[in-house]
Chain A
Amino acid sequence: MSKAKKTVKVITIDIEKCNGCRACEVICSSYHAEPKYSSNNPARSRIRVIRDPLKNIFLPVYAGEYTPAECMGRNKYIIDGREYSECDFCRASCPSRDAFKEPDSGLPLKCDMCEDDPTLEEPLCVQWCLADALVYEEREEEAEEEPKQEDMEIGLRALADKYGLKELVSAVARMAQKE
Chain B
Amino acid sequence: MRYAEAGYNLEVDLSRGSIERVETDPKLTELHLGGLGTNSKLLWDRVPPEVEPFSPDNLLIFSTGLLVGTPAVGANRTIVSTISPQTLFMAYSMMGGFWAAELKHAGYDKVIIRGKSPDLVYLWINNDKVEIRDASHLQGKGALETADLITAELNDPKAQVAAIGLAGENKVYFASIEQGRSSASRQGIGAVMGSKGLKAIAVRGTKDVFVARPAEFIELCNDVLKYIRFREENPIPGVMPILAGLGSPQEMAVYDEKWHTASFAWGNARVRRRNFWTEEIEEKWTNEQKEAVERLISCYNCPLECGAVIDYPVLGISKYMMKCFSKLTYTMAALTDSLSFGFDIAGRAQEYGIDGFSAPQVMAFAVELKEAGILTDEDFKGCPSDKEGRFYWLLERIVRREGIGDILANGTYWAAKQIGNGAEEFAHNNIKKHEQVPIKLGMLNPIYYLMYSTGEKINITQIEGQFPQAPFPTRKEREDFVKDWFQVPDEKFKEYFVNWEPRGEYSMPYYPGIEACCEIVDWMERMHYIDDSLGVCAGLSSFPLKPPYHIHNYPKFVSAGTGIDIDEEGLTKIANRNRNLTRAVNIRRGMRRADEKPPENHWRRRFPELEKELLDAYYKFKGWNKEGIPTKEYLHELDLAYVSEDFERRGILKNEQS
Contact = CB atoms under 8 A, between A and B. Distances in A.
Which 9 residue pairs are nearest across A and B when measured between Cβ atoms? Answer: A43-B206, A37-B214, A130-B303, A21-B298, A39-B208, A103-B206, A19-B298, A38-B214, A37-B218
A33 B309 CA distance: 33
Interface of A: 16, 19-23, 26-27, 30, 33, 35-44, 52-54, 56, 58, 103, 127-131
Contacts, number: 96
Nearest to B295: A56
A53 B151 CA distance: 14
Contact of A23 (B69, B297, B301, B321): B301
Interface string B227-241: 011001000000000
B105 A42 contact: yes
Nearest to A99: B158
A26 B301 contact: yes
Interface string B138-156: 0000001000100000000
Name the interface size band of chain B.
Answer: 35 or more
B302 A41 contact: no
Contacts of B215: 36-37
A30 B294 CA distance: 31
Given A19-B297, A54-B309, A26 B210 contact: no
Contacts of B294: 56
Nearest to A23: B301
B296 interface: yes
B555 interface: no
B209 A41 contact: yes
B299 A21 contact: yes
B228 A22 contact: no
Interface string B282-323: 000000000000111111111101000101000000111100
Contacts of B181: 53
Contact of A40 (B70, B157, B232, B311): B70
Interface string B9-28: 00000000000000000000
B211 A22 contact: no
B46 interface: no
Nearest to B101: A42
Contacts of B311: 56
Interface in B84-120: 98, 101, 105
Given A19-B303, A40-B209, A52-B157, A58 B214 contact: no
Contacts of A38: 210-211, 214
Contacts of A36: 214-215
Contacts of A21: 298-303
Given A30-B71, A58-B295, A22 B210 contact: no
A21 B295 CA distance: 13
Contacts of A42: 101, 105
Contact of A53 (B180, B206, B232): B180
Contacts of A23: 73, 301-303
A53 B98 CA distance: 12
Nearest to A29: B208
A156 to B, nearest CB: 23
Contacts of B305: 19, 131
B369 to A, nearest CB: 37
B300 A41 contact: no
A27 B207 CA distance: 15
Given A23-B302, A103-B206, A37 B157 contact: no
A33 B208 contact: yes
A54 B181 CA distance: 10
